């Protein structure tokens, strides 16, 4: 596994209308595939009745996999429970803020239910006993896209109260810390603690949501502990983290794509349970394909362990919004690799003929015959196989960190910047602007960040921040770093209590600004363009004003400032600027970082460049054309031995033109 790029798909013979494993595996082998993911959603097949086990379909896959050169990843089947388990104990199904759920969908269980934990643990053990020693099994995926599932049941609330009691020997201290005197919400006995689903206190609600995330983390750790009892040292443990699911519109529930950070679990804390991080990434396609979702999600997942990762699910086709143009699937695959993936697996091998995901189409359509999608995926698989993992897969070391924070995400649901602007919208606004300017970054969870590892740090809507982190950022700038802060950052502490200090709290000297008012943006501009959603009325103290507000009354306040502080610089962006203006600010702020990149092609979107070093210690520049039109770009940086396209073998020197066809890819070595 170490020297092989994992290329494959999810495979469910249980869902097939007839038996065809040999036919499917022969097609996979022909397509250059070397791995299948199985079992993670088939508990009712594996244990049709309580205590009765049937591993027929798994055995049939394992029996044939070696013949066709296929490795197998076994998924624990815990995320979709059998109906007999739901009937065994009513507490197995989750109680949400909207009430009890009914059996049917996946991910509807109470992950604190003793009954669920017992039977879930038992099926994992039975499955591992049956598969861990098989030579084709290379690793295990625990659960599937785990989250807390909006658990507001009595069990989790009791556990939350126990946690609070362990922290607070004095209940009055608890009342004070959370500001519960407001609207008579204080309690004077733990027995009087109310149902948390009705709270109007954002501090308490956000603390509970962090606790919910921790319960999801503990659930994954529990599964990993069981797997570790059975797995061989060379077998990995992974999980397919997902992201905020953003709808295209109001059509149907399944329309959508991976967008921003996940609020149902804390990815970084959960990654401790894994030996190898995995992810599911879905994105717009056709004319809407930009690669930004592939890059954003990859940068977040790679940064969890500062290492390469598996794309355990990506799209081949599916809903009408996801029908890819010719060449786009190849662009997808190489884009994942350029972000640090060392495995790409499709969901699903085959289109399903019945039930909920009937039109989430797979590599094979409903006739189960090879067609355009299969042919393109085959070309990709055999191309990757020929080029080899050691040539294609890269390690990345970025100079820029973009800080994200699940607590700020929660807080800004309570105190929204604007009804049309979420926390993740701000994160993606900042990230996408970097991406389109070919400025790569790591996506780092804020309170775990080590600023000293980077030259520049960007803080989009970092509403909740500890005093410790503000001190680190202050020192970072003094020592020569570049800090870029945005509106609605450095406002509240980790209890979601607004600081009594002047804003931006703890960093007024660093940014050289202060403000105490913010307003809406009617008829306001900056840099000759409209600003939107919110305008903090910032006064530049020691900072230099880059853009004032353009407004009849607010023009004496600053929209963008820069402060020289110690050996570094701190930029403050006080409003949602037009993207073109934001990019100008970022280019200026990061010009030294940008200059030092020495990218062979100095362009911006739709030409995207991603860089890293492969296993042969060669520097690779992946160059992508996210456009339906061919483009020509000039090689503008000299390389000692020139550049060679690893795909075509063609050589380039400074001054040469590199032609990229529509949705084209080049991999420049040099």
When pLDDT is averaged across residues 436-441 and rounded to a whole number, the result is: 97
Question: Quick one: 472 and 450 in the same domain?
Answer: yes
Q: What is the pLDDT of residue 575?
A: 98
pLDDT tens for 311-331 read 999 999 888 888 999 999 999
Question: Quick one: 534 and 555 in the same domain?
Answer: yes
Q: Is the pLDDT confidence value at 254 over 80?
A: no
- Do residues 58 and 31 lie in contact, with contact meaning Cβ atoms separated by under 8 Å? no
Query: Measured between alpha carbons, how far is 396 from 497 in angstroms, rounded to an integer?
Result: 37
pLDDT-wise least confident of 3-17, 450-464, 592-606: 592-606
Buried b or exposed e, range 571-582, using 16+ CB within 10 angstroms: bbbbbbbbeebb
* Reported confidence tier of residue 2, pLDDT bands at 50, 70, 90: low
Scan for tokens 């953003």, then name that residue. Answer: 246
Q: What is the pLDDT of residue 3?
A: 82
When pLDDT is averaged across residues 444-472 and rounded to a whole number, the result is: 98
Q: What is the pLDDT of residue 238?
A: 98
Buried b or exposed e, range 25-39, using 16+ CB within 10 angstroms: bebbeebbbbbbbbb
pLDDT tens for 394-410 read 999 999 999 999 999 99
For 547, list phi and psi in degrees, rounded to 5. Answer: -135, 125
Question: Quick one: 386 and 427 in the same domain?
Answer: no
Q: What is the pLDDT of residue 168?
A: 97
Looking at every residue in the chain, the average pLDDT score rounds to 96
| Domain boundary residue, one of 393, 426, 442 | 393
Buried b or exposed e, range 210-231, using 16+ CB within 10 angstroms: ebbbbbbbebbebbbebbeebb
| Domain boundary residue, one of 363, 393, 423 | 393
Decide if 328 is inside a domain: yes
Question: Quick one: 278 and 389 in the same domain?
Answer: yes
Q: What is the pLDDT of residue 250?
A: 61
Query: Measured between alpha carbons, how far is 489 from 405 in angstroms, rounded to an integer?
Result: 11
Question: Quick one: 356 and 472 in the same domain?
Answer: no
CATH number for 374: 3.20.20.80
Beta-carbon contacts of residue 18 (< 8 Å; ≥ 6 apart): none
Decide if 260 is inside a domain: yes
Decide if 170 is inside a domain: no
CATH number for 603: 2.60.40.1180
When pLDDT is averaged across residues 645-664 and rounded to a whole number, the result is: 96
Instruction: Give the 3-state secondary structure of residue 433.
Output: helix
Question: Quick one: 457 and 551 in the same domain?
Answer: yes
Decide if 60 is inside a domain: no
Count of domains for the chain:
3
Decide if 525 is inside a domain: yes
Supply the DSSP string of 92-105, one letter for each residue: GBPEETTEEPPBTB
Q: Is the pLDDT confidence value at 596 over 80?
A: no
When pLDDT is averaged across residues 583-608 and rounded to a whole number, the result is: 91
Q: Is the pLDDT confidence value at 139 over 80?
A: yes
Q: Is the pLDDT confidence value at 253 over 70?
A: no
In order of 140, 281, 302, 417, 622, the CA distances from 665 in angstroms are: 32, 20, 22, 39, 7
Question: Quick one: 243 and 314 in the same domain?
Answer: yes
Neighbour count for residue 137 (Cβ, 10 Å): 22
* Reported confidence tier of residue 251, pLDDT bands at 50, 70, 90: low
Question: Quick one: 493 and 563 in the same domain?
Answer: yes
When pLDDT is averaged across residues 68-87 and rounded to a whole number, the result is: 97
Query: Measured between alpha carbons, how far is 328 from 662 in angstroms, rounded to an integer?
Result: 9
pLDDT tens for 474-533 read 999 999 999 999 999 999 999 999 999 999 999 999 999 999 999 999 999 999 999 999
Q: In this prediction, what percent of the chain has a pLDDT beyond 90? A: 94
Q: What is the pLDDT of residue 319?
A: 82
Query: Measured between alpha carbons, how far is 156 from 168 in angstroms, rounded to an integer?
Result: 18
Query: Measured between alpha carbons, how far is 69 from 134 in angstroms, rounded to an integer?
Result: 14
Q: Is the pLDDT confidence value at 581 over 90?
A: yes
Q: Is the pLDDT confidence value at 563 over 60?
A: yes
Q: What is the pLDDT of residue 640?
A: 81
DSSP-derived secondary structure letter, 627: S
Note the residue count of the chain.
670
Q: What is the pLDDT of residue 321?
A: 84
SS (H, E, C) 341-406: EEEEEECCCECCCCCCCCCCCCCECCCCCCCHHHHHHHHHHHHHHHHCHHHHCEECCCCEEEEECH
Decide if 200 is inside a domain: no
Residue 342 lies in domain: 1-6+239-393
Beta bridge partners of 656: none
For 545, list phi and psi in degrees, rounded to 5. Answer: -80, 125
Query: Measured between alpha carbons, how far is 329 from 258 in angstroms, rounded to an integer?
Result: 17
Decide if 233 is inside a domain: no
Question: Quick one: 355 and 273 in the same domain?
Answer: yes
| Domain boundary residue, one of 336, 366, 393 | 393
> Do β-strands 309-314 and 278-280 pair in parallel, antiparallel, or remain unpaired?
parallel
Query: Measured between alpha carbons, how far is 206 from 25 in angstroms, rounded to an integer?
Result: 48
Question: Quick one: 248 and 389 in the same domain?
Answer: yes
Token digits for 208?
């509970």
- Do residues 345 and 314 lie in contact, with contact meaning Cβ atoms separated by under 8 Å? yes
Question: Quick one: 466 and 569 in the same domain?
Answer: yes
Decide if 111 is inside a domain: no
Token digits for 91?
């507490």
Instruction: Give the 3-state secondary structure of residue 36.
Output: strand
Q: What is the pLDDT of residue 637?
A: 85
Query: Measured between alpha carbons, how far is 305 from 301 in angstroms, rounded to an integer?
Result: 8
* Reported confidence tier of residue 588, pLDDT bands at 50, 70, 90: very high
pTM higher than 0.75: yes
Question: Quick one: 322 and 453 in the same domain?
Answer: no
Q: What is the pLDDT of residue 252?
A: 54
Query: Measured between alpha carbons, how far is 206 from 495 in angstroms, rounded to an integer?
Result: 8
Q: Is the pLDDT confidence value at 595 over 90?
A: no
């Amino acid at each position: 596994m170490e020297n092989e790029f994992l290329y494959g798909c999810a495979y469910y013979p249980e869902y097939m209308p007839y038996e065809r494993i040999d036919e499917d595996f022969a097609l996979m082998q022909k397509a250059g595939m070397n791995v299948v993911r199985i079992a993670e959603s088939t508990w009712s097949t594996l244990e049709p009745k309580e205590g009765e086990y049937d591993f027929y379909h798994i055995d049939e896959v394992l029996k044939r996999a070696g013949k066709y050169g296929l490795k197998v990843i076994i998924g624990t089947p815990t995320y979709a429970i059998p109906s007999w388990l739901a009937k065994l104990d009513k507490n197995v199904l989750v109680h949400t803020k909207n009430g009890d759920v009914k059996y049917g969908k996946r991910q509807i269980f109470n992950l604190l239910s003793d009954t669920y934990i017992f039977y879930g643990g038992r099926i994992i053990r039975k499955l591992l006993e049956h598969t861990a020693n098989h030579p084709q099994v290379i690793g295990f995926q625990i659960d599937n896209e785990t989250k807390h599932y909006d658990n507001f049941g009595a069990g989790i609330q009791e556990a939350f109260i126990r946690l609070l009691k362990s922290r607070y020997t004095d209940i009055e201290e608890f009342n004070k810390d959370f500001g519960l005197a407001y609207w008579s919400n204080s309690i004077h006995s733990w027995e009087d603690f109310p149902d948390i689903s009705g709270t109007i206190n954002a501090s308490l609600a956000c603390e509970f949501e962090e606790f919910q995330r921790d319960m999801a983390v503990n659930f994954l750790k529990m599964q990993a502990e069981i797997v570790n009892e059975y797995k061989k040292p060379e077998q990995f443990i992974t999980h397919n983290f997902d992201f905020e699911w953003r709808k295209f519109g109001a059509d149907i529930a399944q329309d959508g794509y991976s967008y921003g950070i996940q609020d149902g679990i804390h990815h970084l804390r959960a990654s401790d349970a894994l030996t190898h991080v995995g992810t599911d990434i879905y994105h717009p396609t056709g004319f809407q394909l930009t690669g930004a979702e592939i890059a954003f999600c990859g940068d977040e997942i790679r940064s969890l362990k500062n290492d390469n990762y598996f794309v355990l699910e990506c799209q081949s086709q599916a809903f009408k919004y996801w029908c890819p143009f010719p060449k786009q699937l190849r662009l997808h695959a190489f884009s994942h690799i350029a972000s640090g993936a060392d495995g790409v697996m499709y969901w699903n091998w085959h289109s399903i003929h019945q039930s909920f995901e009937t039109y989430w189409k797979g590599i094979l359509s409903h006739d189960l015959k090879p067609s355009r999608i299969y042919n393109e995926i085959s070309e990709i698989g055999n191309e990757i196989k020929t080029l080899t993992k050691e040539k294609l897969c890269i390690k990345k070391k970025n100079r820029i960190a973009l800080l994200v924070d699940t607590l700020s995400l929660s807080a800004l649901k309570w105190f929204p910047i604007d009804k049309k602007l979420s926390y993740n919208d701000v994160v993606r606004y900042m990230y996408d602007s970097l991406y389109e300017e070919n400025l790569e970054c790591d996506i780092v969870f804020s309170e775990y960040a080590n600023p000293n590892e980077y030259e520049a740090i960007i803080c989009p809507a970092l509403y909740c921040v500890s005093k410790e982190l503000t001190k680190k950022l202050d020192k970072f700038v003094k020592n020569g770093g570049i800090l870029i802060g945005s509106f609605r950052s450095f406002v509240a502490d980790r209890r979601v209590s607004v600081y009594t200090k002047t804003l931006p709290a703890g960093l007024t000297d660093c940014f050289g600004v202060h403000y105490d008012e913010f307003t809406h943006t009617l008829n306001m501009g900056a840099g000759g363009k409209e600003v939107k959603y919110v305008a903090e009325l910032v006064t530049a103290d020691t900072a230099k004003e880059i853009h004032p507000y353009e407004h009849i009354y607010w023009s004496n306040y600053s929209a963008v400032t820069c402060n020289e502080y110690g050996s570094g610089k701190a930029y403050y962006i006080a409003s949602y600027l037009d993207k073109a203006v934001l990019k100008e600010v970022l280019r200026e702020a990061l010009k030294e970082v940008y200059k030092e990149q020495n990218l062979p092609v100095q362009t911006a979107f739709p030409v995207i460049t991603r860089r890293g070093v492969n296993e042969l210690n060669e520097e690779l520049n992946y160059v992508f054309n996210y456009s339906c039109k061919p483009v020509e770009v000039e090689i503008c940086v000299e390389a000692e031995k020139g550049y060679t396209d690893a795909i075509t073998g063609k050589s380039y020197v400074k001054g040469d033109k590199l032609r990229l066809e529509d949705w084209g890819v080049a991999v420049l070595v040099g």
